[in-house]
Each structure stands twice: as structure tokens, then as C-alpha cells.
Structure 1
Amino acid sequence: MLRYVPQNFHVPLTSVLSMPADPPERPAAPKDAATVMLLRDAEDAGGVEVFLQRRVAGMAFAGGMTVFPGGGVDKRDADTSVRWAGPPPAAWAEWFSCPESLARALVCAAVRETFEESGVLLAGTDSAVVTDTARYAAERAALESRELSLAGFLAAAGLTLRADLLRPWANWVTPEQEPRRYDARFFVAALPAGQRADGDTSEAESSGWRRPAEAIADAEAGHSMLMPPTWSILAELDRCASVADALARERQPIRKVTPRLVRDGDQVRVEVES
């Protein structure tokens, strides 16, 4: 069982006393979401670095938290016209134990959100990956404002979605006590050669590459805040010797994890069944 103290996740102290001791009779339905851990090899002493962003404090969900790029699935992410390379939607449906149509949408959302929030584009041709994304700056802004769909962008640019660059990693659901809930599927991907990740998004106040252990240490010292999924996954990534090691992880059905919030005086404990 994993336990976290309140300053390290997304239940603010001011809401502890008003938080129900038990889940509501009708918990909010979780919205499907996709999150991507972008990795690169650390330059010294081995291990990996992961791209993290601190969300703008005023955001309705996870404001002020340090997170991986990601967001909710848009209904247009299920567009079957997207040119696709790599494991088919049926394979992702098996890994995430979900319908094939949702699996397609999750992969497309992962690619779209990563591009919107970090400028990294997991697309190209069947044999090559985009190396310079600066030419698509206008399209990136149009995607973020929802003026453009991923399918429309890729088709106009003559690009193929590269599902082979992604690996399934985890599936966490927001606790039932929360009024805003997500069923988030986590993917891992290597930073493509020639591309750079940036923080040019309205949703983040800062961005950068960190070793997983350093990000955890920052949270423990009170310099940043992590939600339980982020903390848990950072601990897993810290055990990876390299990006290749992370990508070589066996692909198998992912267990869905739904933490339970337990009020304990002026603190909230997060319990996760092992």
C-alpha cells in the first residue's frame, strides 16, 4: 500500500475538512485522458530524464502541480481517417482493456496533447520521424484552440501518426471523492532525434527536463507538488537504466488503479492496493 501526505497531491489542505469521509453515492464519471512521459538519456551517470511541466495555479484540475504533458480525449481524436503506423488500435485496446475505438482515440490524444503542450510531434512518414516541428507552429496553436483536429492537421501536412514511438505504461483513475475525475492512460516515448521539448503552452508556467529522483526530492522538500500517479511513475522511471530500457518494458495488459482518499485529521492519506 502506498501512502502520500497532502502537500504532495491534488487535494488542497483547505478542502480536507469538507471532503466526505466516504465516496459519494454517485461519483462523477471519469473522463478519458492520455498522458505521455517524454524521456531522454541523462548525459552523465546513466538513467533517464523526463520532461515535466508545472501547471498554471488557477487551472480547474491539478493547478500548480508538476505533471507530464497530457489532457482529455477530444471526440475528434477517434477519427478513423488518421494515417497510422505501428501497433494497430486493436493492440492498444488489449493493453488498456478498452474498446478499439477508444484505444484509437487515446493514442491520437497522446500524440495531439504532446505536440500541443511540448512541441514534440510523434509523427512523420512510414520510415522517418519529423525532426523540425517549428514549421508547424501555426498548426500547433490551432490544435490547442481546437480550431483544428489532429486528423485534419496530419492530412494537410502529409504526415503519418507514429504509434510505434509510444509504449503503454499505466492507467490511473482519479479518486471517487473528487468532483472532476479522469481515467488517464499513461504512455512513454523517447524524444525524437532533432526535436526539442518546450514550455510554449498556456497551461504551464514552467517546463523542463529532470531526473525522476530529483523531481521526487523536490516534492519531498516542498518545492513542488506531485499527484500520486506522477509520483509513482517517477519512481518507476528512476529504476530505468536508459531510454532503451524503459521502451523495452514488456507490453501487457495494464492494471487500472483507482486510489482511495482517506481523511486523517488535518491530512489526507492516499491508499493504493498493491
Structure 2
Amino acid sequence: MNGIPLPGEFGERARAILSGEIAPVPARDAATVVLLRRIQDLGGPGEASSLEVYMIRRKAGMAFAAGAYVFPGGSVDPRDADQAVAWAGPAPEIWGRVFGADTNTARGLVCAAVRETFEESGVLLAGPSADTVVADTTGDDWEADREALIDRRLSLGDFLNKRGLVLRADLLRPWAHWITPEVEHKRFDTRFFVAAMPPGQRTRDVGGEADEVAWLRPARALGRAKEGQIFLMPPTLRTLTELAAYDDVAAVLACEREIVTFQPRAAEVDGEMWLVIPGEDYRMS
């Protein structure tokens, strides 16, 4: 059987959902961004074509994906769909067609992608104009705004407007669409984006939901997961596997992606409950 076993409470919950005894929790719209950089951008050794991805380890006490290495991301804030946000790049209608979402949802997804990336890495995909990007997001004033965004005391629109910044939707590329299995107590309807590190900016150990951050080559992250050193959820595992086929950030950004929706499902096989991962032919245990 290809998939993940669902023992104990998860197995019983899966049975109850399949039988209609309980209803699954609705999935909340969310956005995730895979930040990419070239090794040579560090000015150190390494092939010019080698790329790394930015990952965070979620704190052990988190209600969802505790201890997992993930990409920056999170739920859409209702204020993310504010039409007053200064915008450069593909219009929300275009993103909606790509991700199979209405225009308002698409706007919220792109804004959430930019906001969550700043909150969880300190990287801001915005600039003073439609063809520039902020060069430095360090300093106490930036940190105060980041904390206010995390606490929801400040909306993305107000943050950008007070700094005179334009959201750079053109720096994002669509990558994938995953929906959390119905068996989970917290569920997300997540669109995945990829983006290159803006010139001059750098990630920081910003804390929040993370207790560790790291830049890893996709193949190295997969190797560490196989060795049991880190834990990867199926969407992260698949994304890293796909990115491992690329040696250059530009090639990733230029890739024409057909966005397919993946939603792992529960199934009973020989009296045991399993979580089946669509499109996968390997066993995850």
C-alpha cells in the first residue's frame, strides 16, 4: 500500500468521516512561498548553478505540522484581499485562472504569500515602484512592523501604504495546490508559490512559529528526511523532489506549470486505515 498509516485516533476519525458520522473541518485558504537562492549569491564555494531553498522548522507545540520543516506560509487574512494595496505584476484575475479561484480569493492568496514571507523570513517582495524592490528590511522599525503584522495589529495594505511600497506580484510564480486531508483537525487549501531572493535582502532568524531556519539544497533536505534527521510533510516532500531536478533558480522561475490539485484521502485496506497520497508510487512511513 502506498501511503501513510493512520493508527489510533486518526484512524477512528477517518472511519467516522468516511461513514458520514462526523463532517470534516472546512479548509482555510492559505499561501506558501518557496524562497530560492543560488549558492554563489553567498560569495562562497559552490557551483554557480546550485540552488537552495529556505525552510523553517515549526515549533513542537504548534497545533499543525509540529516539528516539520516547511516553507514560509500561512492562512489568508480577510484584509489581504484589500483592493487598495498597490499592485505590480499579473492581475488577480490572472492568478485566479491559474489557481482556479475567484478574483477576490486570488488577490488574498497573493497578498498572503507576500505577507507571510515577510513575517516568517524577513524577506519582502515589494518595492518603491513597479520595477524596484526593497534592498534592506533590517532595523528596529522594520521589526516593529513585522511584529505588528504577525499580531494582526497591522494589515498588509496599511503596512505597504505607510511605507509607499508596491506589492511585486511579478516576483512570484505559481507552483502547486494542496488541500489538507479531511482527517486533520486543522485544514488548509494551500497554493504554493516560488520566488527568488531579492537582491540585497537576507533572511533572518525571526522566530515566531519557527524554532529553527535553514537554507538547504533540495536533494540535501530529501536526504536528511530519508535519514530521519528532519520531518517533511507530503506537500513539502513532493515540492523538494520536483525542485531537485533544477540546478538554476532562473530555470525554476521560467518553468511552465500546470497547477494540479492534490488532496490526500483516507482509505481502509484490509481493516487498516491509510492516508493515500495522489500520484505517488512510493511508501511513506
| TM-score normalized with structure 2 length | 0.88
**1:63 to 1:231, Cα distance in 2 relative to 1, 3 A:** same
Closer, same or farther: CA 51–100 of 1 in aligned 2, 3 Å: same
CA distance in 2: counterparts of 1:222 and 1:263, whole angstroms = 27
CA distance in 1 between counterparts of 2:39 and 2:11 reads 42
Give the SS at the match of 1:172: strand
- % same residue: 49
Please list, as runs of the form range in 1=range in 2, the aligned pairs for 1:237-252 lying within 5 A after superposition. 237-250=243-256, 252=258
Paired position in structure 2 for 1:122: 125
Kindly state the Cα deviation for residue 3 of structure 1 after the two structures are TM-superposed.
Answer: 3.9
Matched, 1:171 2:185: no
Q: Which has the larger radius of gyration?
A: 2
- CA distance change for structure 1 residues 201 and 14 in 2, over 3 Å: closer, same or farther? farther
C-alpha distance in 1 between matches for 2:171 and 2:159? 19
Structure 2 residue corresponding to 1:27, chosen from 19, 24, 45: 24
User: Unpaired runs of 5+ in structure 2?
Assistant: 41-45, 281-285
1:47 partner letter? S
**Deviation, structure 1 residue 199:** 2.5
Match status 1:133 vs 2:147: no
Evaluate the alpha carbon distance shift between residue 251 and residue 91 of structure 1 in structure 2; reply closer, same or farther with a 3 A threshold.
farther
* Residues 155 and 56 of structure 1, relative CA distance in 2, 3 Å threshold: same
Give the alignment of 1:146-157 within 5 angstroms. 146-157=152-163
1:212 maps onto 2:218 in alignment: yes
CA distance in 1, matches of 2:14, 2:257: 38
Counterpart contact for 2:122–2:204, Cα < 8 Å: yes
Q: Unaligned stretches of 5+ in structure 1?
A: none
Is the contact made by 2:56 and 2:214 (CA closer than 8 Å) also made in structure 1?
yes
Bigger shift: 72-81 or 260-269? 260-269
| Superposed counterparts of 1:11-26, under 5 Å | 15-21=9-15, 23-24=17-18, 25=20, 26=23
1:127 partner SS: coil
RMSD (Å), alpha carbons: 2.0
Moved more, 263-272 or 135-144: 263-272
Task: Report the equivalent of 2:104.
Answer: 101
Matched, 1:77 2:80: yes
- In the TM superposition, what whole-angstrom CA distance separates every residue of 1:221-272 from its partner, at most 9, and x where no partner exists? 11111110000000001111210000001155x2111112346788844321
**Matches of 1:214 and 1:5, distance apart in 2:** 23
Provide the residue aligned with 2:283 in structure 1. Answer: none
The more displaced of 191-200 and 111-120 is 191-200
Matched residue SS, 1:20: helix
